[in-house]
């Protein structure tokens, strides 16, 4: 049974489904794929005062009730996809940021095209509060596509890394696909999630990545990326990780 820790399944809160019917269709697709638990992670990038945890939890409970009535065996818990900011601790204090299912784990996203210079400080400020940041879709950041080894000190200091299933499948372009492979090869990625938004082109599906991830890390380790690791995150259990390996720069003819 898969656990999906990054999914925009709640209705009417971000760029996920507009109505609850869309949430239920995503849920049915996820269940058919073998998912048993989803963390609803609405964006908090364009913070609206109504997007606090209590309201999201109420919305998730509403979706859960509909799922139960339809006999869909899926558990929905609540998190948020926190946009990196210099004042993340203050955002935690006033409820603009919160963790996955009340655990120590918090999903954090960075801008796609640049790496803010306060990122490392903001992440370690979370760690100083006893939290474990999980970097969302690391393979999609251009900085890491060019220099994946930049992630290594962060992982060595306890940051976890989430890859998006669609990236491994090539849905976000060759650079993201290559970066996802490199991060897996070097123990710089720990969990695969769907980052699902709908039932058409950003789907809540994980199984398709298993053969691909399996080729890189082996079938057993690939399974942990979608099963035991994300389940431990939701249950607030520790996650054992393999030590990351340095990513050696490929020499190009320009270096010669």
**Contact positions toward Fe ion, by CB under 5 A?**
81, 195
In the DSSP assignment, the letter for residue 145 is H
State which residue has the least CB distance to Fe ion.
Answer: 195
What's the maximum distance between 2 C-alpha atoms anywhere in the chain? 65
Least separation in angstroms between residue 243's CB and Fe ion is: 28
Which one, 172 or 244, has the nearer CB to Fe ion?
172
Query: Distance between CA atoms of 224 and 133, rounded to whole angstroms?
Result: 19
Residues 6 or more apart whose CB falls under 8 angstroms from that of 2 comprise 33, 34, 35, 36, 37, 206, 207, 226, 227, 230
Least separation in angstroms between residue 6's CB and Fe ion is: 6
Least separation in angstroms between residue 27's CB and Fe ion is: 17
Residues 6 or more apart whose CB falls under 8 angstroms from that of 33 comprise 2, 204, 205, 206, 207
Least separation in angstroms between residue 38's CB and Fe ion is: 13
Which one, 183 or 247, has the nearer CB to Fe ion?
183
Which one, 133 or 244, has the nearer CB to Fe ion?
133
Which one, 229 or 247, has the nearer CB to Fe ion?
229
In the DSSP assignment, the letter for residue 19 is S
Distance, C-alpha 224 to centroid of its chain: 15
């Amino acid at each position: 049974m898969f656990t999906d820790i990054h999914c925009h399944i709640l209705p009417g809160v971000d760029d996920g489904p507009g109505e609850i019917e869309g949430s239920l269709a995503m849920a049915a697709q996820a269940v058919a794929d073998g998912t048993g638990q989803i963390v609803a992670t609405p964006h908090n990038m364009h913070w609206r005062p109504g997007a606090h945890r209590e309201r999201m939890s109420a919305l998730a409970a509403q979706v859960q009730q509909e799922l139960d009535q339809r006999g869909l065996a899926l558990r929905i818990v609540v998190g948020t996809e926190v946009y990196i900011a210099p004042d993340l601790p203050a955002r935690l204090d006033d409820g603009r940021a919160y963790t996955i299912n009340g655990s120590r784990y918090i999903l954090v996203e960075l801008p796609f095209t640049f790496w803010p210079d306060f990122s490392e400080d903001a992440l370690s400020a979370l760690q100083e509060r006893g939290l474990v940041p999980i970097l969302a879709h690391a393979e999609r950041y251009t900085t890491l596509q060019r220099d994946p080894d930049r992630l290594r000190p962060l992982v060595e200091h306890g940051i976890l890394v989430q890859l998006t299933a669609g990236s491994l499948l090539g849905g976000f372009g060759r650079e993201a696909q290559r970066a996802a492979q490199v991060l897996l090869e070097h123990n710089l990625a720990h969990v695969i999630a769907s980052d699902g938004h709908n039932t058409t082109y950003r789907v809540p599906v994980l199984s398709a990545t298993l053969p691909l991830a399996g080729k890189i890390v082996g079938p057993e380790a690939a399974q942990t990326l979608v099963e035991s690791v994300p389940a431990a995150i939701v249950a607030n259990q520790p996650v054992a990780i393999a030590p990351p390996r340095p990513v050696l720069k490929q020499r190009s003819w320009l270096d010669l």
